[in-house]
Amino acid sequence: MRLKDKVAIITGAGSGQGKAAAKIFAREGAVVIIAEWNEVNGKQVEDEINAAGQEALFIQTDVSNENNIIALVDEVMKRYGKIDVLFNNAGVGFSSNSKYKMDRLTETPLQDWNQILSINLNGVYLLSKYVIPIMKKQNGGSIINNSSLNGIIGVPGADAYTASKGAVVALTRVMAVDYGKYNIRVNCICPGAIDTPMIAEVMNNEAFYSAFTSNPLRRVGKPEEIANAALFLASEESSYITGLIMPVDGGVAAQ
Ligand SMILES: NC(=O)c1ccc[n+]([C@@H]2O[C@H](COP(=O)([O-])OP(=O)(O)OC[C@H]3O[C@@H](n4cnc5c(N)ncnc54)[C@H](O)[C@@H]3O)[C@@H](O)[C@H]2O)c1
């Protein structure tokens, strides 16, 4: 019970890494708030966790919509009176059903560029903007941002995504510096290729698959392997760690 009695908001918890984190955090004793824009998936994760005798609440949320975030935070405070953990995980990437064009910048329409940044970057900003004042009053909290390997090394082909994830890395550092004095820790995970719906389609492409598995551990990661890193950063076990940019990538960043 490493998160006993903690209240944790996880964005994008209807799928992939966020869903894995929701289940693991709930199993470790947290009340989990599933802040997800996909109603079917969000509700399903809520049901699965509650059916296992743990506690979850789905609140339909678009992380790029400020009014949604205000309503989300208000609802959580009304019900639970505190927010201990924020896992800024929601994002759009190479998904087969992505509405946005993932390509080099010369091939990226401005509208898609703006949409990708408004979810992957502004979402982190907006959630943090409304959660930090609460954590300040509580004298503490843990924020975990889910960036990407693209945020720390040059991976060609999805430049708006890469720009958004690089910005999340920089934002993590400055948040850690700005809010450390309030005992708010801010850390960042940089996943390598993780087997979730986001990359399901490109996993079937031989060139992508061999690129994804040409890391020292010679395989793609599992969503639970990111969720366990997030659990460590959410829990008191990491109480002296802030500003950490943590690759969880099978060793790609070490090459
Ligand atoms: N899968 C990978 O290989 C990989 C690698 C590096 C980083 N990441 C990052 O990990 C995070 C989780 O991705 P995943 O792999 O679990 O993918 P996923 O597609 O399975 O899950 C992403 C979730 O975010 C939700 N979401 C997207 N936009 C949203 C919005 N505006 N508001 C609320 N929810 C929204 C989606 O509905 C989905 O449930 C993302 O930030 C992604 O960029 C993924």
Note the pLDDT of residue 201: 87
Task: Provide, rounded to the nearest whole percent, the portion of the chain with pLDDT above 90.
Answer: 94
Cβ–ligand 1 contact at 36 (below 6 Å): yes
Average pLDDT of the residues in 97-103: 84
Q: What is the pTM of this model?
A: 0.98
Please identify, by atom number, the ligand 1 atom nearest to the C-alpha of residue 220: 3
Give the pLDDT of residue 94: 74
- pLDDT at position 96: 55
DSSP per residue, 8-72:
EEEETTTSHHHHHHHHHHHHTT-EEEEEES-HHHHHHHHHHHHHTT--EEEEE--TT-HHHHHHH
What value does the mean pLDDT of the chain take? Answer: 97
As annotated, the active-site residues are 161
The pLDDT, as a whole number, for residue 202 is 87
CA of 250 to the centre of ligand 1 (A): 19
Q: Given ligand 1 and candidates 10, 11, 17, which is best to mutate, with the most ligand atoms within 8 Å of its CB?
A: 17
Question: Where is 78: in which H helix or E strand?
Answer: helix 66-80
Quote the CA–CA distance of 47 and 194 in Å, as a whole number.
24
Please indicate whether residue 44, judged by its CB atom, sits closer than 6 Å to ligand 1. no
Question: In this predicted model, what pLDDT tens digit does every residue of 188-233 receive, in sequence order?
Answer: 999 999 999 999 988 889 999 999 999 999 999 999 999 999 999 9
- The pLDDT tens digits for 48-96 are 999 999 999 999 999 999 999 999 999 999 999 999 999 999 999 976 5
- For the chain, domains (ranges, CATH) are 7-254 (3.40.50.720)
Rg (CA), the chain: 17
Q: Is 97's pLDDT higher than 70?
A: no
